[in-house]
Amino acid sequence: MADMAPRFPPEVWHIVCSYLDASSDIVNFRRACRAFADMGQPFALPSVVLYIHQGDFDHMRAVADHPVRSKYVHELEYVPHTFPEPSLTLERFIHIYSHLQHVPYEVLISGPLPSSDTELQQNCSRYKDAVRQQGEILKNHQDVALLAEVIPKLIGLRRILVSNCNWHREGREGANTPFTDTVPKGFQPWDNLRPSGYRGAKAVLSALETCNSKLEVLEIGTVSWRIIDALPSPDRLSSLTSLTLALDTVDDRSRIPNAETLYTSTEVPKCREHFKLGGFRDFLAGLPNLETLGIEFTYSNELPTLNYPAELDDIIKPGHHWPNLRALNLGNVDMETEGLMGFLALHKDTLLRLELHDIRITTSWLKLLPDINALLSLTQASVWGDLYGWQEATEDGEEMTEHWDLGDPSWCDDDPFSHKLGLYLVEGGTCPLKHANMSNTI
């Protein structure tokens, strides 16, 4: 095996390595001989997942300082979860630990409850050590300093995901973390800093502001809408082809258990006012190479009157055109129907994928959807959530509110109307929405 490598030029072996799975195939390939070990090294770590943990920080710094590996890290996933402070007392720790052992719908802790007080105390001690160590990192701003240090060194970096609450990390909720072996499940760090997700996202964006990256994909969520003030200059992200932001508009008060404001928030009108200043839409207009754009908000304000965190014209500058835009996702947005159709018309030659959820328009959905179907040639479409619109005026001149509740595919099975709507926008036919199947509550 050792003398196989010279038979082909290195370029051929690099092509071979590029098709191998980094988690297993590359490992076996590099074990074959020293020559293969050297050739496979650039492909050994294409993606790095980073938690706020000293071991992760040390590893990340070593990768960034490595003369070869630093060039071939293409993706960075940053999970800025933290422990709540102060740490739990031993009594509270035991109480929660005992409760989690009997949760019927999810195995949060593997194995039986420790049989002795000594074992419980040891578990609690490891948990407290983890909280203390992370607390020191945050207090000394080591997380911010690390990202500012390593991101400019990762010259091959093309994608960054800042994932708060495991956003966009579907299927990895139960995956091991640096805390798995030291902290029992159920006590793992989570979204505990306020504003939600802000610190971690800002640290990444600040690092991007200081370097000439060639980043192509930036995904951040779920993060407080206030992060829009921390966005770098568009020229620092001019190479972006994909931008996805999931912006949180829930007031911190609504996170208190049993709070009456569970689904409403003073943050919604504040967010709406801030977007009207125009800074965000100017930022987007400064990204000329976008092919994928996703801007969604977590909640509209349901009481006392229906309100939305932003209007379409405050997100996308009217008349702006991205020549290569292929995918658009908008959620919890208020929009003039004419403005939406104008934007879609500008992009009808390139737009292939469209997702709309929890949208309010100024006319009837029964007119808008056929117009979209006639205008675009989509290969993929999704419409879900609460759709609000206005029925055409009746003979007596009265207009009526439209409302369809099409559910949320992230926590329930696809609503049949939602599924049919997606097919309709791709394949045509008869629009499945009718006034007869509107929701009973408006």
pLDDT, tens digit, 9 for 90 and up, residues 195-254 = 999 999 999 999 999 998 999 999 999 999 999 999 999 999 999 999 999 999 986 544
Lowest mean pLDDT among 49-58, 313-322, 368-377, 427-436: 427-436
Prediction pTM value = 0.87
Does the pLDDT of residue 106 top 80, yes or no? Answer: no
- Give the bridge partners for 49, in sequence order: 77
Neighbouring residues of 67: CB distance < 8 A, sequence distance ≥ 6: none
Can you give the pLDDT at residue 201? Answer: 98
Neighbouring residues of 427: CB distance < 8 A, sequence distance ≥ 6: none
Average pLDDT, the chain: 85
Greater model confidence, 31 or 376: 376
Q: For tokens 């509740």, what's the residue?
A: 405
Does the pLDDT of residue 113 top 70, yes or no? Answer: no
73 in Cβ contact with 48 (< 8 Å): yes
| Entry field: residues in the chain | 442
Q: Which of 110-114, 413-417, 429-433 has the highest mean pLDDT?
A: 429-433
Please report, for residues 57, 126, 244, 295, the alpha-carbon distance to residue 330 in angstroms, rounded to integers and kept in the order given.
Answer: 35, 43, 10, 5
Does the pLDDT of residue 301 top 80, yes or no? Answer: no
pLDDT single digits (tens) 126-182: 999 999 999 999 999 999 999 999 999 999 999 999 999 888 776 565 567 899 888
Please report, for residues 204, 228, 385, 407, 439, the alpha-carbon distance to residue 411 in angstroms, rounded to integers and kept in the order given.
Answer: 29, 27, 12, 9, 19
pLDDT band at 184, cuts 50/70/90? confident
